[in-house]
Amino acid sequence: MTEEPTPDALETPEAEEQPIKQRKNGLYPGVSDELAESMKSGWADTELHDLSPIEQAPDTARRRAALSARFPGERLVVPAGSLRTRSNDTEYGFRAATEYAYLTGDQTENGVLVLEPDAGGGHQATVYLLPRSDRENGEFWLDGQGELWVGRRHSLGEAEQLLGLPAKDVRELAGRLGDATGPVRAVRGHDAGIEAALTDKVTAERDEELRVFLSEQRLVKDEFEIAQLQRAVDSTVRGFEDVVKVLDKAEATSERYIEGTFFLRARVEGNDVGYGSICASGPHATTLHWVRNDGPVRSGDLLLLDAGVETTTLYTADVTRTLPVSGTYTPLQRKIYDAVHEAQEAGIAAVKPGAKYRDFHDAAQRVLATRLVEWGLVEGPVERVLELGLQRRWTLHGTGHMLGLDVHDCAVARTETYVGGTLEPGMCLTVEPGLYFQPDDLTVPEEYRGIGVRIEDDILVTEDGNRNLSAGLPRSADDVEAWMARIVAQRS
Ligand code: GLY
Ligand code: MN
Ligand code: MN
């Protein structure tokens, strides 16, 4: 129980008259009274009735109940976020904040979920949304967010049916939050307007506790989430096949052809890519987050493609394959590839319930350190290399991370529940060892320089071990070559 007072329930004031923000681009220098009058009427009633709830509505309700139980007596505010300016009056594509999507299943910009404590315990959840545009006051065609410009929105009544939550007008929320009393926690970083309304009511420390809870809540995925992750991976597999089909066109242009090809699959089958695709050919493969993708694609080089489709429900895959552009690995490329593959196999084998989270990382690093010593690149014994972390000059990054709505999911979970924790069924993580020899690394023989290899799969912890969600893509060097040959043969 909290010692702080139960907050006053948020009052429901009369809807306030909102001023219309005219579009800034000056398309409407003047509106005659006759035109304004004409635009008010003659529109069909398109209200939708008897909508089925979204598939995950029972899951979002369960998640909200767990959140409610963790913070009794406190008002909880979880915004979807708002549009961000790209330049002048154009905006970046909107992607709802992960916490909001997780708790509502909704993805509408400016939406806010509020959990209002009930006097009798528990909370009343309400989603605050922009309602359909008013036609009487001209909002729908004169306001930049009017439906005539941005498309039809769901009415509040429709949103209630879809989400299984009461829905209210978000334009009233900041005022209500400003007036309300009692303890409040908010997820920060998404909605400056809401944060401004709460400035004197929230503390960074208490908000951080909310953020940590919401991160840890997502560590174990439910069945809906697992199905979505599989869907994201399946689209990603098709996206990788698309890329192999057009490697000749990429050779004639640049890495951008690969990025664009994968993006097409992501947009057609999903919402977007879950992160900037890394389309790294030749020495670019040694740059971990190479997203400029403006380099050449050359036969004889490796292509490291790290990409993931994000589903329409915002779950993302995160898969990497390192492919020979020519279709065949050179002997040295294959030697390095095989070592990474062996490390990944060892890592995947260590993913099982009850294992320490760090086990798969340690297993993969041990294989890579062993090979590096064997190749004479670092002085052994292997135990000394591992103890001093000397292999990291070439392995560079951790061997994986949780995966879900965020590509690096559950990122603010506490050490004891994540990197220092234990694997449980329903967790989903990447296993992605790599070896990277920088083009200017004078400590390795010249022929190694500029070679980068990573293999990354999405692994679900099951009751008795694990399931590789991305097993639809080949991993061994032989299988990759055979798969590429098949796809290229189909092309001609
Ligand atoms: N694509 C980013 C990562 O593999 O973690
Ligand atoms: Mn990853
Ligand atoms: Mn990745």
Selection from 326, 325, 283 nearest residue 303 by Cα: 325
- Kindly tell me if the per-residue pLDDT of 9 is higher than 70: no
Q: Which atom in ligand 1 lies closest to the alpha carbon of residue 308?
A: 1
Selection from 290, 292, 306 nearest residue 408 by Cα: 306
Q: Which atom in ligand 1 lies closest to the alpha carbon of residue 454?
A: 4
Band of pLDDT at residue 33, cut at 50, 70 and 90? confident
Pocket of ligand 1 (CB under 6 A): 275, 306, 318, 401, 407, 432, 456
Residue 458, exposed/middle/buried by CB under 10 A (0-12, 13-18, 19+)?
A: buried
Q: What is the largest CA-CA distance in the chain?
A: 87
Looking at this protein, which amino acid is placed at residue 450?
Answer: G
Q: Which atom in ligand 1 lies closest to the alpha carbon of residue 400?
A: 5
Band of pLDDT at residue 367, cut at 50, 70 and 90? very high
Q: How far is the CA of 456 from the centre of ligand 3 (A)?
A: 6
Mean pLDDT of 297-314: 98
pLDDT for res 491: 81
Mean pLDDT of 234-246: 98
Q: How far is the CA of 406 from the centre of ligand 3 (A)?
A: 12
Pocket test for ligand 1, best of 279, 430, 457 (most atoms within 8 A of CB): 430
pLDDT for res 144: 82
Q: Which ligand is nearest to the CA of 400?
A: 2
Token pair for 141: 């065609």
In percent, how much of the chain has pLDDT > 70? Answer: 94
Q: How far is the CA of 288 from the centre of ligand 1 (A)?
A: 8
Closest Cα to atom 3 of ligand 1: 318
Band of pLDDT at residue 26, cut at 50, 70 and 90? very low
Residues of the chain by 3-state class (helix, strand, coil), percent to 5: 40, 15, 45
Q: Which atom in ligand 1 lies closest to the alpha carbon of residue 320?
A: 4
Q: How far is the CA of 12 from the centre of ligand 1 (A)?
A: 45
Angle at 316 between CA 310 and CA 317, to 5 degrees: 115
> How high does pLDDT run on average in the chain?
94
Q: What is the pLDDT of residues 327-345, one digit of tens each?
A: 999 999 999 999 999 999 9
Separation between Cα atoms, residue 315 and residue 111, nearest integer Å: 19
Q: How far is the CA of 407 from the centre of ligand 3 (A)?
A: 8
- Kindly tell me if the per-residue pLDDT of 71 is higher than 60: yes
Q: How far is the CA of 114 from the centre of ligand 1 (A)?
A: 32
pLDDT for res 18: 46
DSSP state, residue 110: T
Band of pLDDT at residue 30, cut at 50, 70 and 90? confident
Q: Which atom in ligand 1 lies closest to the alpha carbon of residue 432?
A: 4
- Kindly tell me if the per-residue pLDDT of 17 is higher than 90: no
Looking at this protein, which amino acid is placed at residue 389?
Answer: G
Q: Which atom in ligand 1 lies closest to the alpha carbon of residue 307?
A: 1
Looking at this protein, which amino acid is placed at residue 211?
Answer: R
Q: How far is the CA of 48 from the centre of ligand 2 (A)?
A: 41
Pairing of strands 167-169, 123-129: parallel
- Kindly tell me if the per-residue pLDDT of 66 is higher than 50: yes
Pocket test for ligand 1, best of 278, 361, 403 (most atoms within 8 A of CB): 278
Whether residue 117 contacts residue 7, with contact meaning beta carbons closer than 8 Å, is answered with yes
For residue 129, give the 3-state DSSP assignment: strand
Q: How far is the CA of 411 from the centre of ligand 2 (A)?
A: 12
Q: Which atom in ligand 1 lies closest to the alpha carbon of residue 401?
A: 5
Whether residue 340 contacts residue 455, with contact meaning beta carbons closer than 8 Å, is answered with yes
Length of the chain: 492
- Residues 341, 342, 345, 347: is their CA dihedral positive or negative? negative
Q: What is the pLDDT of residues 121-174, one digit of tens each?
A: 999 999 999 999 989 888 999 888 899 999 999 999 999 999 999 999 999 999
pLDDT for res 27: 47
Helix crossing, 156-163 with 57-70: angle to 10°? 90
Pocket test for ligand 1, best of 236, 320, 403 (most atoms within 8 A of CB): 320
- Kindly tell me if the per-residue pLDDT of 409 is higher than 60: yes
Token match 């004889």: residue?
A: 300
How far apart, in Å, are the Cα atoms of 329 and each of 219, 239, 319, 337, 480?
38, 22, 20, 9, 10
Whether residue 437 contacts residue 444, with contact meaning beta carbons closer than 8 Å, is answered with yes
Q: Which ligand is nearest to the CA of 320?
A: 3
Please give all residues whose CB falls under 5 A of ion ligand 3, grouped by chain where several chains appear.
306, 318, 456
Q: How far is the CA of 47 from the centre of ligand 1 (A)?
A: 43
Closest Cα to atom 4 of ligand 1: 318
First to last CA, the chain: 69
- pTM of the complete model beyond 0.85: yes
Q: How far is the CA of 436 from the centre of ligand 1 (A)?
A: 15
pLDDT for res 245: 98
Pocket test for ligand 1, best of 236, 259, 273, 275 (most atoms within 8 A of CB): 275
Token match 């893509």: residue?
A: 473
Q: How far is the CA of 258 from the centre of ligand 2 (A)?
A: 19
Whether residue 149 contacts residue 36, with contact meaning beta carbons closer than 8 Å, is answered with no
**What does the radius of gyration of the chain's CA atoms come to, in whole angstroms?**
26
